[in-house]
Chain A
Amino acid sequence: DTGVSQDPRHKITKRGQNVTFRCDPISEHNRLYWYRQTLGQGPEFLTYFQNEAQLEKSRLLSDRFSAERPKGSFSTLEIQRTEQGDSAMYLCASSPKPRGRPAETQYFGPGTRLLVL
């Protein structure tokens, strides 16, 4: 298996700009998750998809955030009108179908570090 990949690895933007991140999960993993991690904290759940359906969104995900997984493969996370408080590491994870390896195990990508100036 190739692992979860994320692009870009780093992003610096000015306040008010829009940014979009991409995540490619491990092939045949039908669940895909987005988390956000700030300094000194553990990752915090944002949203997750099963195939192309978005099943849950955290209250952390304000109206400025939107995530898509149009064909049930890769996913994008867009932040509109970025604010300095959006500066964080954005992590993507995927998990397999219920058969085979435990479906509960989520495998993480390297993350996208966002800095909003």
Chain B
Amino acid sequence: DQQVKQNSPSLSVQEGRISILNCDYTNSMFDYFLWYKKYPAEGPTFLISISSIKDKNEDGRFTVFLNKSAKHLSLHIVPSQPGDSAVYFCAAKSVGKLVFGKGTKLTVNP
């Protein structure tokens, strides 16, 4: 069974608007969460992370929110740019290894 779920396979937004990517998890033992961005034929690139003891972390245009009671996290990108178009993976750390969702393909239209 999937411990990390990204229920939206794709998302399309206009340049300059906000992109919100969502992720749900089931294992309350996860203690660290990360977002990666991936282009075709490349490895995932680290974007931003958050510890389970925090509820928000911000880095430039990227903000990650964590709601532990709902076992939900989200990535906000503001403003969205065409270069942000990629597949975004949510990952949760479990005793060293990462457990990934299936990804959300973000398309930012000019």
Q: Footprint of B on A, CB under 8 Å?
A: 4, 6, 31, 33, 35, 40-45, 48, 55-56, 58, 91, 93, 102, 104-111, 113
- Contact (Cβ within 8 A) A113 B102: no
Q: Is the CB of B34 within 8 A of A41?
A: no
15 additional A-B residue pairs with CB within 8 Å, beyond A105-B49, A107-B46: A31-B96, A40-B102, A42-B102, A43-B100, A45-B98, A45-B99, A48-B97, A56-B95, A58-B97, A91-B44, A106-B46, A106-B98, A108-B36, A108-B43, A111-B42
| A-side contacts of B99, CB under 8 Å | 45
Asked if B70 is an interface residue, CB under 8 A from chain A, the answer is no
List the B side residues contacting A102 at CB < 8 Å: 32, 49
> Which of chain A's residues has its CB closest to B31's CB?
A104
Question: For residues 84 through 110 of chain B, which have their beta carbon under 8 Å from a beta carbon of chain A?
Answer: 89, 91, 93, 95-103
Tell me, in angstroms, the Cα distance from A10 to B49 when the chains sit together.
30
| B42 partner, pick from A31, A35, A55, A110, beta carbons under 8 A | A110
Q: List 15 A-B contacts (CB under 8 A).
A: A31-B96, A40-B102, A41-B102, A42-B4, A42-B91, A42-B100, A42-B101, A42-B103, A43-B89, A44-B100, A48-B96, A55-B96, A108-B43, A111-B43, A113-B41
> Which residue of chain A is the closest to B91 with respect to CB atoms?
A42
**A43-B44 in contact (CB<8A):** yes
